[in-house]
Structure 1
Amino acid sequence: MADKRKPNSADDRPQESDRQFLERSNVGTCMKDVLGKIIANRPEDPIAFMADYFDSLEEQTSLVARARQLIIMTHHSRPVFDINVRMAYETLQKSKCNKKLHGVNGTVYNELIRALCRDFPTLVMNRLLRKIECLDFEAVTYDVFKSGVFTCCVLEDYLKLVEYLFNSLDFTKTGKCDKAVCDAVLEQLKTSLASNKTDARKIVESGYNLGPDGLFHVLDKAMKRDTHISTAFTLEMFTAECCEAFIAKVKDARDQRSAIKVKKLR
């Protein structure tokens, strides 16, 4: 008699281990976080502290989702984007974490930043976070908040362009590009990003370097080179190199905070 069970039923799926379940559901991370805060704060009633923590965590997640939705409603190049960012900032200020703070709590800000770049390659996201994340318990000013949000949105567009450029260089359509060709394009990109944007002549030069004529010139030279060792770049490798050049130009959040403090003192 034939087995009439439906394919891919719950019984047919491989059972995940306890550790896999905890990692998938993010429970382990949440428990480590709350235990770390209990140890650091030594509350008189740890159970009540945990209850309050998870209540605020649920509210915080909801507020971050709303703030993210406001930010992604329109492209960062449109004037209304600034209005949406301000609304997102005011939304996050409603969090219980913001009591007695003149700004958005660092933990809430960091969660929003992570939500905005969650689809980035892990290596790129981690490098960016090292630049724009803030301390958990500090008050994030609007200027720092807006700068971090804007950077995430611009980098998202940049990643799409990097992928498009890689596919254009993948002449054989194998998912790999000649290293000499990639190196030539990367050098052109780094030269453009390193240009002094306050100098009008340099701005024009940067535009030429990344324009069709400038890229054609460096690609033509690269392809004419007599290389005995043929190596290749994958999209992941090419993206990492391109984003390294981009992130190097991003202002460190710590430097921005210092600049704001100096400005206030004057």
Structure 2
Amino acid sequence: MGDRKKSPIEERKQQYKDYLDKTDVTSQVREALLKLIENQPKDPMLFLANYFDNISTSDKSDKITTVHQILQLTHHSQQSFQTNLIVAYDAASLAKNPNSKKASMNRPGLTGSVFEELLATILSNVPKNLHATLLERIGCRASEMVPFGVFRYCITVCYVFVDFVKLCGSIFSVLCGKQSGKVTDKDICEIVISSLKDALDSLQDDNSPCSILEAAYVLRPDKLASSLLSNKSSKTDKSTMNEDDFMKEMIDVFTSKIKVLK
């Protein structure tokens, strides 16, 4: 007895299934949904849009781009970021062409040169004069292999640093108030910088990147800057500080608490 002839509806269903399998859409959607569940972002539709945009625009042979996209899936404060760190490290440790004969003869791993390029990519939106000192402290030699513990620490430091720079910029804007130009009272700036030092000193031996950022949040505009502005001196001959100097001094305090790896 011959096979039953499929109805037009069944044939269309099979055509749709064949198309999805051929274009690998099903597996990509499944992977996206797994990432969505794993990260649980506040805006799931935006997360999916960014995820598929990264897939469509990335060069799969570009290791730095791939690893950076994995790390960007969720904020460093989320628990799922720790899982993404493991996935990112595995991706960063693969040989450029894992199927080549040369790759099969060598132990896979993350080299210092690739690692430093990845750190620079994460910090690409921060001016180089602000993050140069940080990279000097956490960078690795180009020829050495980077273990996961170092990878996790340095990646976390970089993402915390990006948030810290934004926080400092926000504080300085509030300190400026309605003044014209990017200058403000130097005495008040020095009080803020001193307060940051005191907050970080209170950490004692806990110098983890996230703890440093948490200590710095005592300087949020709503916690510190407004009260300082209300107590400003009425002197007209007071000295001023510009934003570049303020940012540099705040970042010097931050980087002084970061472990030197080189």
Give the superposed CA RMSD. 3.0
Q: Which residue of 2 is the match for residue 181 of structure 1? A: 188
Q: Which residue does the alignment assign to 1:232? A: 240
Q: 1:167 aligns with which of 160, 169, 173?
A: 173
Partner Cα distance (1:156, 1:207) in 2: 13
Question: What corresponds to 1:244 in structure 2?
Answer: 252
Determine if contact 2:175/2:229 at 8 Å carries over to the other structure. Answer: no
Give the 3 Å change call, closer, same or farther, for CA 122–234 of structure 1 in structure 2: same
Q: Equivalent residue of 1:245, what SS?
A: helix
> Which one-letter code corresponds to 2:75 in the other structure?
H
Partner of 1:84: 84
Deviation digits for residues 81-135 of structure 1 (CA, Å, limit 9, x no counterpart): 0111111111111134996456411111111011111111212211011011000
Unmatched runs of 5 consecutive residues or more in structure 1: 1-58, 255-266
The number of residues matched between the two structures is: 189
Distance 1:69 1:178, change over 3 A: same
The TM-score normalised by the length of structure 2 is 0.63
Give the 3 Å change call, closer, same or farther, for CA 97–225 of structure 1 in structure 2. Answer: farther
In structure 1, the partner of 2:15 is none
Distance 1:190-1:60 versus aligned 2 partners, 3 A rule:
farther
Counterpart Cα distance in 1 of 2:167 and 2:90: 32
Does the Cα contact within 8 Å between 1:184 and 1:219 map onto a contact in 2?
no
Matched to 1:146, the amino acid is: R
Identity %: 26
Task: Indicate how the Cα distance of structure 1 residues 186 and 129 shifts in structure 2: closer, same or farther if over 3 A, else same.
Answer: same
SS of the residue 1:139 aligns to: coil
Distance in 1 (CA, whole Å) between partners of 2:75 and 2:155 is 12
Provide TM-score, normalisation by structure 1.
0.62
Listed as ranges, the gaps of 5+ residues in structure 2 are 1-58, 207-211
Match of 1:156 among 162, 166, 185: 162
Partners of 2:253 and 2:151 in 1: CA distance: 22
Aligned residue identity for 1:92: A
